[in-house]
Structures are given as structure tokens and as C-alpha cells.
Structure 1
């Protein structure tokens, strides 16, 4: 058999990249098919917010259940019925008013089902592209591109983090993509683009703004300044197009969230894991049910103490990792710092939703190069098994296990990842491939 000249001319790396492209395309197709009918409950509020503004009903944009979390706002039910109930649930809208206003121009033109499907295509495409972006940002020079892609796709295909993000069609996928791309551009020396991308991500969800610490850590002042200018510009634009009233509603909603701690299976925050462990050991009394609970400071007076302790520990760990990673090669430092910061942000936030860890998941393959081969494979297998959607979800729903055990175990695994990053910072490592 004679192969085509284009195939015969491929060198080892070229063949690797061709196989990588094929795997990414196949994963995109399979994942899109698997999630075509996903509930998309986290995407629904964006459409609903735009719909209400288009209909001249701004008072309903930030409507929410009594504890904010936990289901569809009762005030939305009539409109959802009129739309044909396109989603099983529509969770509350908790994004800045700017995006609701921009979507108000789209919702009269596009139905909820078409909107949901289009965004699902976009999100799966972003996750697929993010594998390549993360590789450009963090792949060690000694690691074949194929190894990176295989590890990444195996984790994305099995993990509860990516499954949750896709199941709910979470806008966090867009935020994750923008954040990864921002740091890939920073790595490439395009500071202006990096600042704009991270600024847009922070204007969608506030939490990504913490990543600007890496701009400062790297002394990339231009990127930090562009980030600040982008955020400021979008805030001004938001006030101009959406008005002050909606921003007041937005701040009220944020305040309600800050006073509520969701102790539920989908919140893999260290604060939640600590409370669950303390309750199991009899050290604290945490009023939860088998399905979890939404705790407030009124019910649990010591919640502010736990939150403050988490903030103090977060600051201490940020400082410790900064000192630990500072002497490393710039490319290694950025890759490891981004992974460490992404884990710390999700772990120590009061609300560390499972989908917050997708960015960490995509950066994780770099650690395969810092472990001996005899340890790397079993370590990734154990991590993949313990964080698999099958174990995390089905163990609770089908096997009847206590979800608190799985929740604590997942937090412990991410602390293990931080430990590996810390240990690896004390040894020479390969420079990530550019």
C-alpha cells in the first residue's frame, strides 16, 4: 500500500499534531452529541434577563428564590410557561446588567431553544480549543503534544467538573476560555490583548478579576493597566446602557449571595468541606439535610469566622506560593502559578462550584512531567477516578452514599495538587513548550 505524499512527509511531531487534531475533532463531535439535550439551567437566566428587559420588565431580572439559590425564581414561572418551559429549571440571574441589556437586543430575534443550542455549540468548541490553548501555555518541552491532548481529553470526558459545566451549559466555560487565552497571550508577549481578555472575563463574572494578581506578580504593568481600563470601561458602559436601577438590584443580589453558604454536593469549596468534616467529627453542629442546605449567618453564627479564616489562609498561601515560584524559569513560573491560583480561588471561595475547576483541570497535565513515570500514571488514574462524574454523581444518586465523603475527598485531592506544585517548585523542571 502506498500512502499519500502528505502523509509520508509527516515527521514525528507533525504526525503527533495530526492525531491531536483528529482526537479534538472527534471529542467535539461526541461531546456535542452527548450534551445536545442538556438542561442548560445555568444558561437560562441570561436569556430570561434579556427577555425581561426587552419586554420592559426590569424588576424581574434579578428575581430569585427566598435564599437566592435552589431553583427557579417564582416570579419567572408565568413567563417560562408562556415560552413553553424550554428548560427544566432556570436559575437566577447573577451577572452584571450590561449582559442582560445586550441580550435584550437578541432575545426578540432568537427563541430560547435556538439560543441554548447555539451556545452549547460555542461552549463545546471553546472547551475543545482550550485544550490547545492550555498546551501552548503550559506544556513542558519534554512532553509530546499527543500525551497532553490524551490526558486533557480523558479528564474532560470523565470529570465531574466538565460534566457539570456542560450539563448546565455554564457561562463559566466562556470565562474559563477568556482567562486561559489571556494568559496564553501574556506568555506570547501580547500584554494588551491579555489585559482586554481578562478584563472581559472579570466583567462577566467578578471572580476572574483575582487572576490580575498574576499580571502584577509577573510585573506586567501594561497588561494590568489594560485590564483595569477594560473593566472600568465596561462598568461605565453598563451604567450608560442599563441604568443605575439595575445596578442597585445587582448589588443587592450579590449581597444576598455573600450572606448564604450553599452546603450542597455541587459546591466543592474548602469552607464547605471543613464544615462537613467538623460536623462529622462532632466539633461543630451544621444544620444540613441529606440533600444539603443553604446556610445563612442567622442560622449559623460562626459562618463569618469560617469565611474570615478562609480569607486569611488564602492570602497566606498566595504569598507562600509567590515566594516559592518566584525563582523559577519564567515559563514554568507562569504555568505553575496559574494552576496554583486557579485551584486556590476555587477552593477558598465560599462558593466553589464544581465548574470553577475546569480551568485547573485543563492545566493539570503539566504536572505529569514533574513526577516519576511510575507515579504519574497511577496519580492521574486515581485523580480521574475520584473526580469522575460517575463516582461523584452516581454514588449519591444511585449508590446511596453520603455525598459529604465525596465532597471532602475532592477538596483533599485539590490540596494534593497544590502539594505537588509546591514540591515541584523546589526542583529543576523542563521549560514549557512555546
Structure 2
């Protein structure tokens, strides 16, 4: 179908979500099931062999302390949750997040471990389902059964492994945003989960801007309303802490740590370790971060309007982590849906580009694969620095994000003429076919 036909079949108010449903091929289904089961069993074996490394749940324990403080009426912001050192184990989430951690207070022993481990795995599986749905796969029993094996394979992605080990909250935020973006634009609930995610941690608020630039105004307003509701709940339950947080604690970088920390896998960390972030270097970081965010929104808008909603959302997720002042390795869980998308692309399309892109992404996220050789090490950052390659792989996720910008720009330039992509917005099956004819 030509672009001129698309202009008449897909009105500007069309849906962004993929309505054209595909079935997972039988061969791929069984191959992924077997590989995923093997990967999951191998991961479980390492957890049982070295639980102090693979499942120590230190951050989940800190969340539990925050929940205890809420119950006891003690501020979560006045002092670190563990120890007495500023920038170490301080509570950096919203008061609303502290309220969500209250149920952890009653978890102890094996139940505590099971909730930390299987809870994150269940949310990772849900994220896989949302990603596959956004790729256009039919929501049937085969998709449901394939979720856990794919999650098993993703356990070897370094940020996912670290999130599992620490009992971190990142996969929950990933699930909230992906599930929200997988909803049809006509849903009155679209935006609620994104707003809640932003009400827990501020970085998902970037997706509100994404909704605005893709002209999904109702969803953006809904997200803002949901986030505002979390702030009001925080003020109602924890007025003192809410005043502390929203009056300045949320922008205090000293609460997290020094930016040059080798595990700060963000643009600011890269600059801090290379040239510093004082004075003019701080301004350089702000300008570079703003430019990266702007380019991301431009690319994500065009990807979304041409039917590529999942890569658009993933690009935004990676960007929020790259431009954040402080991003631990486990914050980069957006690599998981990226790998899902690239694997699907490599399976569906011929040629060299898609498989090569998948291999590059796997290499960048392969820190977790080190555990195959040494189960006492879960990250490349555990190896000592000392050579020039350190500058590269200690900032690998930032470089990968920038490389994805370039790949997306090249693909859009070759596939969709500038100024014409807006006509590929979809409305039902006809619009979907029009959009797919442009992008495939």
C-alpha cells in the first residue's frame, strides 16, 4: 500500500498500539521454552550455591527498614536507613513509595526470600507479556506459557540479575510502564500506571512527556493526575516527610553518592570519571542530557507514529536511565525489553543487520554472563580497572543507548520519508496494515 493510500485510511486520531495479532511459531515456541528452562535452572542452581551473592536482597532489606520507620513514626529522610554515612543507604524514593514498603514489615525468614525472588521473577514475566503484546502477538495460552522461559533467559541480563540479587524495585517500575503503554489509546485507564510509577520514583515521569509529544493528551493528563494523587496520599499519611522530600531532598545529589562512582552507569557518571562535573563540566552534563532527551523524544515520536511502539518506549526507558544524575547498573532493566524486541526482529527479518544488532546488545548486557565462569562475580564492575577499555565497558550502557539513537535515525531515514510518518498512525485493522506496509 502506498503512502498516499495511508493518508486516506489512517486518520490523525488513530491508535498507536499494534492491533494486528500474530501467533508465535511452533518451532520458536519450543526452542525458547527449552532454552529458557535450561537458563532458569542454571540460574537457580547458582542461587542455591552462592545465595550471599546471587540473592542477598540487601535493598529489599532497606525497603523493609523504611516500612518499619513509617509504622514507628520515624522519618525516612532525616538519617540513612543503615549506618550513619551520608550518601550511603539513604532513602531516595518518594513518601508514597515508603508507604508501599509497609507490607514488607511482616516478612521474615524464608517467606521474605521467596517474596523477594519470586516476586521480581513474576513481574519480569509480566513485563515480557506486555512487550510481546506490544509486538502484536496474540494474547493466547502460548504467549502466557512462553513468558516464564523468556524471563528465564533474561535472568542472564546483568541489570536483571543485579535487580534480583538486591531485591530492587526496578522491575516493578518497568512492568507498570510497559503494561500501561500496552493498553489501547482508547482506554480511559491509560496513563494511570505510568503516573503511579512516577509517584514511586521520578524518572518514569519522562513517559508523560512522551505521551504528550505523541499527542496522547488524555493519557498524559491521566498520568499527571495519578502521580498527583500519589503525592497527596504521601502528604496525608506522611506530612513531615513529604515536606522534606518535595522541598528539596528529591534533587539533593548527595543523598545518592559521589557521581564518579564506577557503578554510576549514567552520562553524569561517565563525565565525572572522565573530566569531572564541577563548574563548566556540570553545565556540559546538563546541556548534553537535555540534548539526548530531546533527540530521544524526536526519534520515539516517529517510531511510535510508524507502528513501532515497543522500541519507542524502550528508547525512552533507556534514555531516562542514561540522563539520570545517578544510575546504578540495576537501573538499566530496560535492556530486557530491548533484547526481546531485537530477538523478535532477528527472527522475523532476514539479512545481517537485525541479528548483528541483537549480538551487540547481548554483548553490552553480558556482565551477567561472567557468572557462568565465576559464580562469585555478577558484574564486569567487580573486576579491577586499569586499562583503556575500562572507559568503554564501564560506560557500556550509555554507549549502547547512543548507538541505538543512530540505528533508529538511520532506519527511519531509509524507511519513512520525513514529514510523512504521521500518516501511519493506526486505526483498527486497516490502519495497522497501512502502517505495517510502511515499516516492514
Q: What is the TM-score of this pair, normalised by structure 2?
A: 0.72
DSSP 3-state at the match of 2:190: helix
Q: Which stretch shifts more, 218-227 or 385-394?
A: 385-394
Which residue is equivalent to 2:337?
362
Which residue is equivalent to 1:73?
83
Does 1:156 find its partner at 2:134? no
Show structure 1 runs of 5+ residues with no match: 1-10, 66-71, 77-89, 287-296
Does 1:380 find its partner at 2:358? yes
Q: Which stretch shifts more, 391-400 or 121-130?
A: 391-400
Change (3 A) 1:199 1:25: farther
DSSP 3-state at the match of 2:75: helix
CA contact (8 A) 1:24 1:128 kept: no
Equivalent in 205, 210, 214 of residue 210 of structure 2:
214
| Cα displacement (A) at 1:14 | 5.5
Partner Cα separation in structure 2 for residue 356 and residue 168 of structure 1: 11
Equivalent in 250, 254, 258 of residue 254 of structure 1:
250
| Cα displacement (A) at 1:112 | 6.7
CA contact (8 A) 1:176 1:358 kept: yes
DSSP 3-state at the match of 1:193: coil
Change (3 A) 1:388 1:401: farther
CA contact (8 A) 1:43 1:170 kept: yes
Partner Cα separation in structure 2 for residue 121 and residue 208 of structure 1: 24
Change (3 A) 1:426 1:335: farther
CA contact (8 A) 1:32 1:124 kept: no
CA contact (8 A) 1:123 1:169 kept: yes
Which residue is equivalent to 2:198?
202
Does 1:225 find its partner at 2:221? yes
Q: Which stretch shifts more, 340-349 or 168-177?
A: 340-349
Supply the RMSD in Å over aligned alpha carbons.
3.8
Does 1:122 find its partner at 2:105? no
Q: How many residues align?
A: 374
Partner Cα separation in structure 2 for residue 395 and residue 25 of structure 1: 25
Show structure 2 runs of 5+ residues with no match: 1-22, 371-376, 417-434
Q: Which stretch shifts more, 358-367 or 254-263?
A: 254-263
Change (3 A) 1:207 1:113: farther
Which residue is equivalent to 1:64?
80
Partner Cα separation in structure 2 for residue 226 and residue 431 of structure 1: 29
DSSP 3-state at the match of 1:73: coil
Equivalent in 126, 130, 133 of residue 130 of structure 2:
133
| Cα displacement (A) at 1:323 | 6.5
CA contact (8 A) 1:216 1:224 kept: yes
CA contact (8 A) 2:268 2:323 kept: yes
Equivalent in 392, 395, 405 of residue 405 of structure 1:
392
Which residue is equivalent to 2:17?
none
Equivalent in 319, 326, 342 of residue 351 of structure 1:
326
| Cα displacement (A) at 1:181 | 0.6
Which residue is equivalent to 1:85?
none
Which residue is equivalent to 1:82?
none
DSSP 3-state at the match of 1:266: coil
Does 1:269 find its partner at 2:254? no
DSSP 3-state at the match of 2:259: strand
Which residue is equivalent to 2:181?
183
> What is the correspondence of 1:318-357 to structure 2 with a 5 Å cutoff?
318=296, 320-321=298-299, 324-325=302-303, 328-329=305-306, 331-332=307-308, 334-357=309-332
